[in-house]
C-alpha cells in the first residue's frame, strides 16, 4: 500500500519572539503571543531560502529512509516563496541530493498546501508504478509585511516526504481534497508581500475548507474522530487549529502534539507537514493520524495515515522536529529585518 518511506524536516536556527515584534509596532506585547497562540517564529538566515531548506529536509528524509536517491523518479517542491519566479527550485534540490537525471520534476504552488498537493501527486505516480519513489516537499520562507498581522506568524521551515509502495513506515490509507475559488490571501506577481482579507481568512476560508475536507475524509473512510489517535491541521496561528479541533469535537490532547506553530510560527507550505513529522517522531506503531492541510485561494487536502512497525527502526538517524525547535538563536528585530531583507538601501 502506498505510504511514507521516509521523512525529514528542517527549521532555520534563528528565532524572534512575537513580543519583540509587538514592541516595535507599539502593540501590547504581553497580549500578542497569547492572542495568536504564537510565541516565537523561525527566521531564515541571510543565506537560507526555500532551496536550501528543501535540500536539508530532503537529505534528512533520504537518510532516514535509507534509500538510493537515484531511485527517486519525481521531485516536487511546494512553496509560495520559490527563489525564482521562472526556474524550478526542484532541480536544485534533485541535483543536491543526488537524484538521477532520468526523473520528472516541478515546483508546486497552492499557498500553504502546495506540499501536500505534491504528496498526492507522488501517491498517484507510485500507485500507478510510474515511479518507485516520489519526493514531495513543502517549504517556505514566508513573507509578512512589516507591521501587518502576518508578521507575527510568517516563518520559515520545510518538510520532505518520500512516497512509495515498498518499505513504508506509515501507510496513507486515503486522501481527499476540497477546493473552491475563495480569495482570502494572495500575492500578485512582483509584489514583495501578500495581502489578506483580514477576518475573511477565518470562517469562509480556513474553517470552511478544513472542516469540509475533514468531514469528507471521515465519510469516505467511514471513520470518526474516535478512530484516530492524533490530529494535525494547518497552523496559520495557534488559535485556528484549536478552534477547528473544537468544531470537529477533537479532544484537545489528540491535537496538542502537532502544534509546532507556538514555537516556530507558521511555516506555510511546511506547516501541517512539520506538524505531521512531529507526530511521526513520537507515535507508536499502529497509531492513526488524521491530517488536513489548508491552502489559501482556497483548498484543503485531508489524509488518513497509519503508523507502521518499521518506523521504530528509522528513528534516531536524523534530527527530530523537536531537535530543530530546541536548536535556536534569538535575534532582535533589527537583525531579523536585515536577514529578511526588509531594510532597503
Partner 1 sequence: MPNIDVKSRVEDGGITMSNRVAIIGVGMCKFGELWDRSLRDITLEAGLYSIFDSGVRGADIDGLVIGNMSAGRFTGQEHLGAQAVDIGGLGDMPAYSVEAACASGGAAVRQAYMAIKSGEHDVMLVLGAEKMSDVNQTEAMNTISVASDWEWEGMFGATFPALYAFMARRHMKDYGTTEEQLAMPTVKNHKNAEHNEWAQFQRAVPIGVVMGSGLLADPLRVLHSAPVTDGAAGLVMCREDLAKKYTDTPVFIESSTQAGDTLALHDRKSITTMNAVVNSSRLALKEAGLELKDIDVLELHDSFSIGEIILTEDVGIAKKGEGGKALEEGITEIGGKFPVNTSGGLKARGHPVGATGVAQIVEIALQLRGDAEKRQVKGAEKGLAVNIGGTGATSIAHILGR
Of the pair 31, 219, the CB lying nearest partner 1 is at 31
Helices 271-282 and 114-127: crossing angle in degrees, nearest 10, is 60
Please report how close the Cβ of residue 35 comes to partner 1 at its closest, in angstroms. Answer: 9
Please report how close the Cβ of residue 197 comes to partner 1 at its closest, in angstroms. Answer: 7
Q: Which of 236, 298, 269 is CA-nearest to residue 79?
A: 269
b/e map 303-330, b = 16+ CB within 10 Å? bbbbbbeebeebeeebbbbeebbeebee
Cell numbers that stand for 238 in this block: 495557534
Please report how close the Cβ of residue 233 comes to partner 1 at its closest, in angstroms. Answer: 22
CB 28 within 8 A of CB 173: no
Of the pair 23, 27, the CB lying nearest partner 1 is at 27
**Residue of 82, 196, 209, 234 with catalytic role:** 234
Of the pair 45, 197, the CB lying nearest partner 1 is at 197
Please report how close the Cβ of residue 137 comes to partner 1 at its closest, in angstroms. Answer: 33
Q: Which of 10, 13, 12, 37 is CA-nearest to residue 262?
A: 37
**Residue of 40, 48, 82, 112 with catalytic role:** 112
Burial zone of 192 (CB within 10 Å; 0-12 exposed, 13-18 middle, 19+ buried): exposed
Q: Could you give the CA distance from residue 272 to residue 234 in angstroms, rounded to a whole number?
A: 5
Q: Is the peptide bond before 22 cis (omega within 30 degrees of 0)?
A: no
The three-state secondary structure class of 291 is strand
**Residue of 80, 151, 212, 308 with catalytic role:** 80
Q: Could you give the CA distance from residue 214 to residue 28 in angstroms, rounded to a whole number?
A: 35
Does 105 qualify as catalytic in the annotation?
no
Please report how close the Cβ of residue 204 comes to partner 1 at its closest, in angstroms. Answer: 5
Does 196 qualify as catalytic in the annotation?
no
Q: Could you give the CA distance from residue 232 to residue 245 in angstroms, rounded to a whole number?
A: 9
Of the pair 193, 200, the CB lying nearest partner 1 is at 200
Please report how close the Cβ of residue 331 comes to partner 1 at its closest, in angstroms. Answer: 26
Of the pair 26, 316, the CB lying nearest partner 1 is at 26
Q: Could you give the CA distance from residue 298 to residue 209 in angstroms, rounded to a whole number?
A: 7
What are the residues binding partner 1 (CB under 8 A)? 27-28, 31, 195, 197-200, 203-204
Does 234 qualify as catalytic in the annotation?
yes
Please report how close the Cβ of residue 199 comes to partner 1 at its closest, in angstroms. Answer: 6
Of the pair 28, 227, the CB lying nearest partner 1 is at 28
CB 141 within 8 A of CB 156: yes
Of the pair 149, 310, the CB lying nearest partner 1 is at 149
CB 22 within 8 A of CB 183: no
Known catalytic residues are 80, 112, 234
Amino acid at each position: 500500500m502506498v505510504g511514507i518511506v521516509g521523512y525529514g524536516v528542517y527549521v532555520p536556527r534563528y528565532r524572534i519572539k512575537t513580543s519583540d515584534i509587538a514592541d516595535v509596532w507599539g502593540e501590547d506585547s504581553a497580549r500578542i503571543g497569547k492572542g495568536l497562540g504564537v510565541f516565537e517564529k523561525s527566521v531564515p538566515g541571510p543565506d537560507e531560502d526555500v532551496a536550501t531548506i528543501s535540500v536539508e529536509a530532503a537529505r534528512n528524509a533520504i537518510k532516514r529512509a535509507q534509500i538510493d536517491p537515484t531511485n527517486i523518479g519525481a521531485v516536487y517542491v511546494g512553496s509560495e516563496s520559490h527563489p525564482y519566479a521562472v526556474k524550478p527550485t526542484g532541480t536544485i534540490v534533485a541535483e543536491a541530493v543526488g537524484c538521477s537525471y532520468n526523473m520528472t520534476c516541478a515546483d508546486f504552488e497552492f499557498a500553504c498546501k502546495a506540499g501536500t498537493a505534491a504528496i498526492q501527486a507522488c501517491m498517484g505516480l507510485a500507485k500507478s508504478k510510474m515511479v518507485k519513489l516520489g519526493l514531495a516537499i513543502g517549504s517556505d520562507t514566508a513573507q509578512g509585511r512589516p507591521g501587518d498581522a502576518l508578521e507575527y506568524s510568517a516563518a520559515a521551515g520545510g518538510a520532505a516526504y518520500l512516497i512509495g509502495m515498498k518499505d513504508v513506515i506509515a501507510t496513507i490509507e486515503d486522501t481527499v481534497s476540497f477546493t473552491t475559488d475563495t480569495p482570502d490571501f494572495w500575492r500578485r506577481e512582483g509584489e514583495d508581500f501578500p495581502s489578506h482579507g483580514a477576518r475573511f481568512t477565518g470562517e469562509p476560508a480556513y474553517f470552511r475548507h478544513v472542516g469540509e475536507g475533514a468531514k469528507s475524509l471521515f465519510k469516505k473512510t467511514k471513520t470518526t474522530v474516535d478512530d484516530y489517535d492524533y490530529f494535525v491541521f494547518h497552523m496559520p496561528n495557534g488559535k485556528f487549529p484549536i478552534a477547528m479541533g473544537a468544531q470537529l469535537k477533537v479532544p484537545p490532547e489528540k491535537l496538542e502534539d502537532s502544534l509546532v506553530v507556538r514555537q516556530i510560527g507558521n511555516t506555510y507550505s511546511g506547516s501541517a507537514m512539520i506538524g505531521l513529522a512531529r507526530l511521526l517522531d513520537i507515535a507508536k506503531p499502529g497509531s492513526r493520524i488524521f491530517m488536513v492541510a489548508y491552502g489559501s485561494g482556497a483548498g484543503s487536502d485531508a489524509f488518513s495515515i497509519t503508523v507502521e512497525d518499521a518506523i521504530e527502526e528509522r528513528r534516531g538517524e536524523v534530527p527530530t522536529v523537536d531537535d530543530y525547535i530546541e536548536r535556536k538563536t534569538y535575534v532582535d528585530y533589527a537583525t531579523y529585518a536585515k536577514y529578511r531583507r526588509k531594510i532597503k538601501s
